[in-house]
Amino acid sequence: MKADLVVRGGDVVLEGAAVRADVAVTGGVVTAITREPVDAATVVDATGCLVLPGGVDAHVHLSGGGGPEGAPTWADDWESGTRAAAAGGVTTVGNMTVPREGESLTDAVRRVGADVAAQSLVDVLLHPVVAGEQHLDPAQLAVLRELGQTSIKVFTVIDAYSAHRQRFYAFMAEAGRQGFLTVVHCEDAELIGWSTAHLAEQGRADFRAYGESRPDTAEEAAVAQLIAFAETSGTPVYVVHLSSARALAACAAARSRGVPVYVETRPLYLHLTEELLQAEDGAKYIGQPPLRRAADVDALWAGLRFGTVDTVATDHAPWTLAEKLAAGDQLDELRPGVADLETVRPMLFSAGVLTGRISLARFVELTATNPARLFGVYPRKGVIAPGSDADLVVWDPAETRVVDGSRMQSRAGYSPYDGTVVTGWPREVLSRGELVVSGGAVVAGPGRGQLLQRGLTAPR
C-alpha cells in the first residue's frame, strides 16, 4: 500500500488495546493501521515505542485574561503555549476565551480565532467566557455554532453570577438545548469572600492562608448548586479543575442518578498537596482552587481509575516565578495558575500508568478520547482510526527525564514539579500528518494550527 508517511513498528494504542502495527498517513489523515508493507516517502520509526493519539487538553489560557490593555497577563501566548503543548504530546488545546471590554462572545471568538491562525502550532477549540450579564444573549449561540464553537465557560465566582444567577441558568439551559456543553468553575463566591475577610481580621492575608480562604466546602457547595441546576433542567455541565474528594463524591452521586455532569481534574491536584503552600516559596504552587490534602489526591486517582473523572486538563495559565513570588503578600493579589502543557501527559503516564494506578487505556481516554468526545471533535481527534486526523505521538515509555522548567518551552521558566523524575516522554509528534516534534525537539513554526469546526457534544 502507498502512503505519504508511515509510523513504523510501534505498539499502536487503539480504543481498548495496543497492537503492533504500522500507521499509514496520507493527506494528513490516517488511512490504515496495518501489518501489510507500506510504501511511503517519509518513515517515522516507532520501534520500542507506543503510538498514542495526540493529546486533547480541553482547558488552557493562551490569549490573555480579557483585562484592560497593558494589564499583567500570563507568561505564554499562542506561540510559546502551543510549543509547550506540542513538546508534551498535546495536539489540540481548548482555550478559555475572555471577551475584552465591550466585546461579545462571538467577536471574542473571531478575534482569538485570527490569533490562532497566525500564531498557533497545534489545533484549537475555543470556550467563550460569559464574563458578565451583557453576554447572556441567547441569539449569540446560533452564531457561535456557525463559528464551530459549541461550549461556553461560566465562573461561579464572579459578581455577575451572584447577582444574576437565574439569568445565567436560563442562558446555560438554552445552550444545553442547542447542544452546547457549559463548562463551569465551581467555587462559592460568598464563602470565599467571608473566609478571606475572616482571615484578614486575624492578620492572615498572605499566601500561607490561601488554602483556608478557598476551602473544599466552597467547591462542594458550588458543585452541589450546579448539580441541582443540571438535574432540574437536564442541562449538561462540565466541572473544570475539580480538586476535592467532597466535590467528587457529589458529582459521582449525581451521575449515578443520571445527571449529565462531567468532571475534569488537573495535574496539580494529582501530584502535589497543601503542605507545599506553607513553604518559603509556597506562592509558586498557587492555583484556583488551592492544593488539597493527601486524601483528596487519593480520591481523585480513584476517580481516574474508576471513571468518575472524565478528563485530565492542565488549566495552563503560567506566570514567571518572580511574578508568582512577588504577589505572595496579599490574598487578593495572588497569581493563580502554572505551566503544565509539557508535563501533563508524561507526569500522568509516569505516576499513573507505570505504577499501575491507571491503565494505558484510561490514560488515553482521560487525555485524548474523552475530551474529544465531550467537545465535539471526535472521531477526528482523540483516537487513531482510519479517517481520523493523523495526530500521533511516538511515545518512549522508557525515557527518563528530571523535570526542569527552565529548559522547557513555556515562558514561565519554572515548573511546580521541578526536580521530579518522570519516565515516559514524547519522541515524535505529528499534527495532521506533519512532524511538529522530532527527536524530542519542536520543529514546527507558528501559524499551522487550525481553529477546529466542532460538532455538538457527544457524551460517553
Region from 17-25, 307-315, 409-417, 424-432 binding Zn ion, contact rule CB under 5 A: 307-315
Q: How far is the CB of 264 from Zn ion (least distance, A)?
A: 10
Residues 111-150 that bind Zn ion (CB under 5 A): none
Burial letters 342-364, b for 16+ CB under 10 A, else e: bbbbbbbbbbbbeeebbebbbbb
Q: How far is the CB of 155 from Zn ion (least distance, A)?
A: 9
Q: How far is the CB of 384 from Zn ion (least distance, A)?
A: 29
Of the two residues 184 and 390, which places its CB atom closer to Zn ion in the complex?
Answer: 184
Of the two residues 315 and 396, which places its CB atom closer to Zn ion in the complex?
Answer: 315
Region from 24-32, 154-162, 309-317, 352-360 binding Zn ion, contact rule CB under 5 A: 309-317
Of the two residues 226 and 430, which places its CB atom closer to Zn ion in the complex?
Answer: 226
Of the two residues 59 and 271, which places its CB atom closer to Zn ion in the complex?
Answer: 59
Ramachandran region, residue 426 (left: φ > 0; alpha: ψ -120 to 50; beta: rest): beta
Region from 314-322, 324-332, 372-380, 385-393 binding Zn ion, contact rule CB under 5 A: 314-322
Region from 40-48, 138-146, 315-323, 438-446 binding Zn ion, contact rule CB under 5 A: 315-323
Of the two residues 79 and 315, which places its CB atom closer to Zn ion in the complex?
Answer: 315
Of the two residues 335 and 380, which places its CB atom closer to Zn ion in the complex?
Answer: 335
Q: How far is the CB of 435 from Zn ion (least distance, A)?
A: 30
Q: Is residue 315 a contact point for Zn ion (CB under 5 A)?
A: yes
Of the two residues 10 and 289, which places its CB atom closer to Zn ion in the complex?
Answer: 289
Widest CA span in the chain: 73
Q: How far is the CB of 274 from Zn ion (least distance, A)?
A: 20
Q: How far is the CB of 211 from Zn ion (least distance, A)?
A: 18
Q: Is residue 365 a contact point for Zn ion (CB under 5 A)?
A: no
Of the two residues 220 and 315, which places its CB atom closer to Zn ion in the complex?
Answer: 315
Of the two residues 296 and 315, which places its CB atom closer to Zn ion in the complex?
Answer: 315
Q: Is residue 187 a contact point for Zn ion (CB under 5 A)?
A: no
Residue closest to Zn ion, measured at CB: 315
Written as nine digits, the cell of 280 is 518559603
Of the two residues 22 and 315, which places its CB atom closer to Zn ion in the complex?
Answer: 315
Of the two residues 11 and 315, which places its CB atom closer to Zn ion in the complex?
Answer: 315
Q: How far is the CB of 29 from Zn ion (least distance, A)?
A: 32
Region from 260-268, 312-320, 338-346, 357-365 binding Zn ion, contact rule CB under 5 A: 312-320
Q: How far is the CB of 75 from Zn ion (least distance, A)?
A: 15
Distance CA 229, CA 370 (A): 23
Written as nine digits, the cell of 96 is 478559555
Q: How far is the CB of 51 from Zn ion (least distance, A)?
A: 30
Distance CA 36, CA 56 (A): 30
Q: How far is the CB of 212 from Zn ion (least distance, A)?
A: 22
* Interface with Zn ion: number of residues (CB under 5 A): 1
What is the three-state SS of the chain? Answer: CEEEEEEEEEEEEECCEEEEEEEEEECCEEEEEECCCCEEEEEEECCCCEEEECEEEEEECCCCCCCCCCCCCCCCCHHHHHHHHHHCCEEEEEEEECCCCCCCHHHHHHHHHHHHHHHCCCEEEEEEECCCHHHCCCHHHHHHHHCCCCEEEEECCCHHHHHCHHHHHHHHHHHHHCCCEEEEECCCHHHHHHHHHHHHHCCCCCHHHHHHHCCHHHHHHHHHHHHHHHHHHCCCEEECCCCCHHHHHHHHHHHHCCCCEEEEECHHHHHCCHHHHHCCCHHHHCCCCCCCCHHHHHHHHHHHHHCCCCEECCCECCCCHHHHHHCCCCHHHCCCCCCCCCCHHHHHHHHHHCCCCCCHHHHHHHHHHHHHHHCCCCCCCCCCCCCCECCEEEEEEEEEEECCHHHCCCCCCCCCCCCCEEEEEEEEEEECCEEEEECCEECCCCCCCCECCCCCCCCC
Q: How far is the CB of 61 from Zn ion (least distance, A)?
A: 6
Written as nine digits, the cell of 386 is 482510519
Binding site for Zn ion (CB under 5 A): 315
